[in-house]
Amino acid sequence: MSNELRQACMRIARRVRFESDDAIAPHQVSVLVHLTSGPMSPGELADRDRVTAPSMTRTVAGLVEAGWAEREADPHDGRRVLITITDRGRTALGTMRHRRDRWMFTRVQRLSARDQATLARAAEILHRLADE
Amino acid sequence: MSNELRQACMRIARRVRFESDDAIAPHQVSVLVHLTSGPMSPGELADRDRVTAPSMTRTVAGLVEAGWAEREADPHDGRRVLITITDRGRTALGTMRHRRDRWMFTRVQRLSARDQATLARAAEILHRLADE
DNA sequence: TATTGTTATACTCTATAACTATA
DNA sequence: TATAGTTATAGAGTATAACAATA
């Protein structure tokens, strides 16, 4: 069963990404999402996304250039830099999420009440599972 | 609710991809999966994955070089080429799927029988939804 | 001396434009 | 003349190696 479930989740995720044609690149989305939890250093971001430090330097530079993030010096450690998401960054992320949610909503809407209830319970279970 | 479900599927998909460290690159996986339905031309593959023809030329060249696919001339149209997945390609795909399924299985296993039953029904509904 | 971050350089995936071969 | 595929070239994203600044 878990095989079917795993594949079902991946198929849904693929179609959502495929058909929502996002304005933000996947690696940028990932970093912006991390930044919604608060300011973070490039090194911390690199660890979370399992990319190298130079890659994150480039990604952060792109986000700053797009106006979606800002750099500031860490007051406690002169070596560190803190990256913060901007209001424009939050807006861009919100727009993307809205598009993706709309794709899902139009399809879930057509299901029976019973199926929708099952999916609601499944969503809760899957979130717990992803939290582990 | 559909928002929560959409995000849950994407979180699961992300973690599966992230933690199964595949030996096949994502764009190669996609092409190999298409080829399991039967031989296909580069142009057809390019359309399905929404990449340009030159990109698919490169991807196919990589798959052939890795021994995961083969090229043959189309007997009915001298311009066309047919790409076929090899046994080694099927094996590579199978290994990847097995790793991904194992990740999911170890987590689903720990859930209550009730939760597992909910997820089983959800998997079926999600597959129908992805088929649309 | 260790840590944080950047710059230099190369490789891969993707795209557009131009080309070859066949219909 | 249109179509299928490739080659040429350039633009991103990522990696390793070498470097600068700070702890």
Q: What is the pLDDT of residues B101-122, one digit of tens each?
A: 999 999 999 999 999 999 999 9
Name the pLDDT band for B95 (thresholds 50, 70, 90).
Answer: very high
Band of pLDDT at residue A58, cut at 50, 70 and 90: very high
CB contact under 8 A, B16 and A2: no
Nearest neighbour of B125 by CB, restricted to A14, A16, A118: A118
Interchain pair B126, A9: CB under 8 A: yes
pLDDT of residue B21: 85
pLDDT (0 to 100) of residue B111? 97
Return the closest nucleotide (C1') to the Cα of A83: C5
pLDDT at res. B132: 87
Model confidence pLDDT, tens digit, residues A61-106: 999 999 999 999 999 999 999 999 999 999 999 999 999 999 999 9
The residue of chain A nearest to residue B16, with distances taken between CA atoms, is A6
pTM as predicted: 0.93
pLDDT digits (tens, 9 = 90+) for A104-125: 999 999 999 999 999 999 999 9
Whether CB of A44 is under 7 Å from strand C: the answer is yes
Nearest nucleotide over every DNA/RNA strand to the A43 CA, judged by C1': C4
As a whole number of angstroms, the distance between CA A47 and CA A63 comes to 18
For B106, other C-beta atoms within 10 Å of its C-beta total 11
Does A67 contact strand C, using a CB cutoff of 7 Å? Answer: no
Q: What is the distance in angstroms measured between the alpha-carbon CA of A79 and the sugar C1' of C3? A: 8
Distance B95 CA to D3 C1' (A): 38
* Nearest CB to B16; choose among A10, A104, A132: A10
According to the model, what pLDDT value does residue B74 have? 97
Please compute the mean of the pLDDT values over residues B42-64 and round it to a whole number: 98
Percent of chain B with pLDDT over 70: 100
Tens digit of each residue's pLDDT (9 = 90 or more) over A19-38:
998 899 999 999 999 999 99
Write the DSSP string, chain B. -HHHHHHHHHHHHHHHHHHS--SS-HHHHHHHHHHTTS-B-HHHHHHHHT--HHHHHHHHHHHHHHTSEEEEE-TT-TT-EEEEE-HHHHHHHHHHHHHHHHHHHHHHTTS-HHHHHHHHHHHHHHHHHHH-
